Amino acid sequence: MTERTFIRWLEDLRGEDTNVVGGKSANLGELADLDVPVLPGFSTTADAYDYYVEQTGIQEAITSQLDGLDVDDVSDLRRRGERIRRTITDASMPPDLESQIVERYDELAARLGIDDPDVAVRSSATAEDLPTASFAGQQETYLNVSGETELIDSITNCFASLFTDRAIVYRENNDFDHFDVKLACAVQKMGRADLASSGVLFTIDPDTGFEEAVVIEAAYGFGEPIVKGTVDPDRYTVFKPTTGIVEKELGAKTQRMVRRNGGTKLEPVPESRRDAYALSDDRIRELTEYAARIEAHFDRPQDIEWLVDGELDRLFVVQARPETVHGASEETVLRTYRLTESADELLEGVAIGNAIATGSVRVLEDLRQMEQVEEGDVLVTEMTDPDWVPVMKKASAIVTDRGGKTSHAAIVSRELGIPAIVRTGTATTDLRTGEPVTVDCSTDVGRVYEGELAFDVIEEAVDELPETETDVMLILGDPGRAFALANLPVDGVGLAREEFIVTSHVGYHPLELIERGEQDRFVDALRTGIAKIGAAFYPNDVVFRLSDFKTDEYRNLEGGWKYEPEEDNPMIGWRGASRYYDEQFREAFRLECEALRQVRADVGLDNVVVMVPFCRTVEEGERVLDLMAEYGLSTESMDVFVMAELPSNIVLADRFAERFDGFSIGSNDLTQLVLGIDRNSDHLAPLFDESDDAVLRLIESLIETAHEHDRPVGICGDAPSTIPEYVAFLVEAGIDSISVSPDVAVETLLTVSELE
Q: Choose, from 158, 185, 408, 505, the residue flagged as catalytic.
A: 408
Cα separation, 441 vs 353, in Å, equals 6
Give the DSSP per-residue string, 110-168. HHHT-SS--EEEEEEETTTTBTTB--TT-S-EEEEE-SHHHHHHHHHHHHHGGG-HHHH
**H or E stretch including 492?**
none
Tell me whether strands 356-363 and 378-381 are parallel, antiparallel or unpaired. Answer: parallel
Q: What is the Cα 711 distance to its own chain's centre? A: 37
Q: Is 716 a catalytic residue?
A: yes
Q: What is the 3-state secondary structure (H, E, C) of 516-556?
A: HCCHHHHHHHHHHHHHHHHHHCCCCCEEEECCCCCHHHHHC
Q: Are 131 and 322 in contact (CB under 8 A)?
A: yes
Q: Is 408 a catalytic residue?
A: yes
**H or E stretch including 667?**
helix 667-675
> Residue 587, SS3?
helix
Q: What single DSSP character describes residue 323?
A: -
Cα separation, 737 vs 735, in Å, equals 6
Q: Are 707 and 728 in contact (CB under 8 A)?
A: no
Q: Are 495 and 375 in contact (CB under 8 A)?
A: no
Tell me whether strands 542-545 and 493-497 are parallel, antiparallel or unpaired. Answer: parallel
Helix spans in 477-518 (H): 482-485, 498-505, 510-516
Of 630, 655, 629, the C-alpha closest to 642 is 655
Beta-strand runs (E) in 401-504: 420-422, 436-440, 445-450, 455-461, 471-476, 493-497
Residues marked as catalytic: 408, 716
